[in-house]
Each structure stands twice: as structure tokens, then as C-alpha cells.
Structure 1
């Protein structure tokens, strides 16, 4: 076999082997690497490069070496699940860089982490003043995670003491102009509902590049033609407006009638409607 043909065959074979090994090692190998995963990636890449480009080598030996370097990280991962000490040795552990708002200079020296490195990582976390950080840790992957001080954290509904509606995963129900039946079923919807919603928007499904349904059952679409404008969903604002109008009408009826019995009835139902509005408003905004 000519040398160029053998290289093509080897490349194809080792590509398949490398793909299977990567799938077997799992998603962690594709994310930011810890120390052992970094070493494993270098060795596996070197084995493949040598046995693909050097026709004098025996490809069987290359596949055998890859099998060994597949079993080693799998074994290490298994043992790491069983032992914290083993995990610390082979996968590393986090190093605290800032604690209680104080920079830990000794830990930075231990990790050879300069002040410029720290400030860069803070900026990557949208923090531009080290004094705004309560806690920061250097992960084994080399990434810095931090906790801002309480006064610098974003305001959340929990802090404000307000209720918000639970939100589930949005379902992609249209892709490339085709309806997706499984996501529709996951959202407890069907194609008839989808056609009705598209008709309201005066849109044909063939013109929809992407369509998604949120946890409230509202459909939003993106069209192939970017020049066309699609109206925003209005179901929730309309429902809230209708409830407020109903409550206002009940108050108006209570003021207009001369019958005390009717006045009390209207007033009582007006108060009930207001209570319902107060409870449902967080879910409709």
C-alpha cells in the first residue's frame, strides 16, 4: 500500500478509536480539564499523532496504548468517586484566594497566582473591585469562582420578599419550518393549538425558523425573513387587564345601585376580585 494511502487509512481508523475513547471518558473530558485529565489528553493526542504520521510504526501497538490510556483515567475516576483523599491527589482541590473579604496572599504564592491574574479573573466574573468580593476560590480546573459581598449581590425576588411564578424549561416546538411533536407533547400541546397560535400571528409554519413555548404556554417565533415583525405574546397582559376591568366594574356597580343588598354583594365580590388580582399579578408580569 502506498504511504499516502496508509496514512489516510490510519487517520480514519484512529479517528474512530479516538472518538470512541472520548465518548467513553465522558463529558468531563470535554470541559475544563483538571491535572490528570490534562495529562491524559496530551498523551492520547501524542499517541494518535505518532501512529498516524509514522508508517513504520505498528498501528496495533497504537490502539493497544490508547486502550491502556482509556482504562487508566476510567480507573482513576472510579477510585476518585470512592475516596476524597485519592480525589484530592489526582484531581486537585480548590484554593481559597479571598476569604471574608481578605486576599489570601500566602495561598496566591502557593499557586503562583499573581495580583494581575486575580484581577483578570475578577473582571471575567464582572467584578472590578477586589473589595466587593466576600469569597473567591481557585478551582482545580484553573477557573476562579467568587461570591460578592451581600450588598453587591443582585437583587432577587427572594430578597424583596415577593412571589414569582415557577418557570420550567421552554420547549422548542418549531425548527426549520417543521413542527416537533415530542416537545409539543412535553408542553401538553398539540398541532391544532400550534396552528391556531400561528394563525393569530398571521404566520405560516414554513416561514418559521424557530418557535418556542415558555412555561406559561406562550409561543414566540423567529422568522426566516428578518424584516418581518412578529407581535409579542399578549395573553398574560390581556388577562390581567380584564381582571382589573372586572374589579373596577364591580366597584362602579356598587356605587351606582341604591339597593343596600346589591351594594354589599358588589362590594364583597369586588374585594374578592382584588384579592385574586393581588395573588395572580406576580404570575402575569
Structure 2
């Protein structure tokens, strides 16, 4: 067999074996790596390169080494799942870097982290003052997670005592100019509805790179032609305006009638509609 062909075959074999062995190790190997997983990834890659290029030795020896490394890594992952002590020893523990706005210098030295690197990690979390941090913790993966003090946290509806309905899942109904019928059916819609919405926007399906429908039935599109400006959907704003108009009409009816019972009925309905508008405004104003 020619040398170049042998290298091609060995490379293909190593790629296939490496693919299946990596699948066996799970998705954690391709996300945030612990120290041991980092070492394992480098070693497995080196062995795979050895299998491809070291034609002076038998290729199956590299496969054996690769399998052994993967089995060891897999065994350690199983051990970590079963033993908290093993997890702490292999992956180490999280370390508090900032507590109550005070940087813990000893813990920084323990993690071999400089103050400039700490500030860089804080900026990645959109935090520019260490004094605003309640806790900052470095995880075994090396990522720094930050909890701001209560007075510096963004205001959310829960802080204001407002209950917000869960956001329904959006569906991609157009991809690369092609209509996706299954997501449309999931939303209870059809192509006729989609054609009508596209006509309102003044665009054709062929020019749509991505089209999404949110849980409230509003269509958002991204066009191939970036120079074209697409108007934002107005269904929510229109519904809110209609509710306000109905409330105003009820107030007008209450003022214009001389019948006491009718006046009271219109007033009660108006008050109920005001409460409805108050409840749905957070949703319709998004």
C-alpha cells in the first residue's frame, strides 16, 4: 500500500474511533472542561495524531492506547457521579473570590488569579465595581459566577409584585425561503395565514432568510436583502389600543345615559376592563 494511502486509511480509522469514543464520554467533554478532562482531551488528540502519522509502528497500538485512555476517563466520570468526595478531589471545589464586596486576596492567590484577571472576569458579567458584588465564585471549570448585591440587581416584575405570564415558545416557520409546515401546525396556523402576514409586511417568501412566529401569533422576518426595512408587527399594540378604546366608550356611555341601572352597569364594566388592561399591559407592551 502506498504511504499516502496508508496515512489516509489510518486517519479515517482514528476519526471514526475517536468519534464513537467521544460520544461514549458524553457532552460534558465538549462543554466546560475540568482539569482532568482538559488533560484527557489533549492526550486523546495526541494519540489520534500518532495513529494517523506514525507509520513506523503498528496502528492498532494507538487504538489500544486510545481505548485505555477513554475507559479510564469514563471510569472517573462514573466515580464522580457516585462519590462527592471523588468529585471534590478530582475537579476541586468552587472558591469564593469576593464576599460582601470584599476581595479575598488569599483565595485569589490560591487560584493563581491576579486582580486584573478577576476584574476582567467581572467585566464579562457586566460588573465594573467589585464593591457591588455580594458573592463572586470561581467554579472548577474556571468560570467566575457573580451575584450582585440586592440594591444593584436589575428590577424585575417580581420585585414590583407583578405576575408575568410565561413566554410561549417561538417557532421558526420559514428557513432559507422555505415554509416549515410542522411548526405552523404546532401553532394552529396554515400557509394562508402566513401568506396574509407576509403580504402585510410587503415581502415575498423567497426573500425571507428566517421567519419566526411568537406565542402571541406575531410574525418576525429577517430578509436576505439587509437594505430593506421590515415594519415591526403591531398586533399587540393594536389589541391594547382597542381595549383602551372600549374602556373609553364604556365611560362615555356611563356619562351619557340617564338610566341609573345602565350607568352603574357601564361603570362596573369600565372598571373591570381597566383591571384587565392593567393585567395584560406587561404582555402587550413587550
TM-score by length of 2: 0.93
2 CA distance for matches of 1:216 and 1:283?
9
Q: Which residue of structure 2 aligns with residue 39 of structure 1?
A: 39
Task: Give the Å deviation of 1:51.
Answer: 1.8
| 1:53 matched to 2:27 | no
Task: Give the Å deviation of 1:196.
Answer: 2.7
Q: Which residue of structure 1 aligns with residue 70 of structure 2?
A: 70
2 CA distance for matches of 1:151 and 1:28?
36
Q: Which residue of structure 2 aligns with residue 147 of structure 1?
A: 147
Please state whether the residue corresponding to 2:159 is helix, strand or coil.
Answer: helix
Q: Which residue of structure 2 aligns with residue 273 of structure 1?
A: 273
2 CA distance for matches of 1:92 and 1:169?
38
Q: Which residue of structure 1 aligns with residue 240 of structure 2?
A: 240
Please state whether the residue corresponding to 1:145 is helix, strand or coil.
Answer: strand
TM superposition outliers: structure 1 runs of 4+ over 3 Å = none
Q: Which residue of structure 2 aligns with residue 212 of structure 1?
A: 212
Q: Which residue of structure 2 aligns with residue 100 of structure 1?
A: 100
Q: How many residues of Structure 1 are paired with residues of Structure 2 in the alignment?
A: 285
2 CA distance for matches of 1:258 and 1:127?
62
Please state whether the residue corresponding to 1:220 is helix, strand or coil.
Answer: strand
2 CA distance for matches of 1:284 and 1:143?
37
1 CA distance for matches of 2:265 and 2:23?
68
Which 10-residue stretch deviates more, 255-264 or 176-185? 255-264
C-alpha deviations, 1:123-151, integer Å up to 9, x for none?
22222221111111111111111111111
Q: Which residue of structure 1 aligns with residue 19 of structure 2?
A: 19
Q: Which residue of structure 2 aligns with residue 121 of structure 1?
A: 121
Contact 1:94–1:140 under 8 Å retained in 2? yes
Task: Give the Å deviation of 1:195.
Answer: 2.5
| 1:230 matched to 2:218 | no
Contact 1:163–1:282 under 8 Å retained in 2? no
Gap change, CA 1:123 and 1:276, over 3 Å in 2:
closer
1 CA distance for matches of 2:195 and 2:275?
35
Q: Which residue of structure 2 aligns with residue 262 of structure 1?
A: 262
Gap change, CA 1:185 and 1:80, over 3 Å in 2:
farther
2 CA distance for matches of 1:240 and 1:164?
16
5+ residue gaps, structure 1, are none
Task: Give the Å deviation of 1:241.
Answer: 0.6
Gap change, CA 1:61 and 1:185, over 3 Å in 2:
farther
1 CA distance for matches of 2:245 and 2:131?
50
Q: Which residue of structure 2 aligns with residue 196 of structure 1?
A: 196
Gap change, CA 1:84 and 1:58, over 3 Å in 2:
same
Please state whether the residue corresponding to 1:134 is helix, strand or coil.
Answer: strand
1 CA distance for matches of 2:88 and 2:272?
60
Please state whether the residue corresponding to 1:173 is helix, strand or coil.
Answer: strand
Contact 1:211–1:220 under 8 Å retained in 2? yes
Question: C-alpha root-mean-square deviation of aligned residues, in Å?
Answer: 1.7
Contact 1:165–1:282 under 8 Å retained in 2? no
5+ residue gaps, structure 2, are none
Contact 1:47–1:66 under 8 Å retained in 2? yes
2 CA distance for matches of 1:212 and 1:283?
18
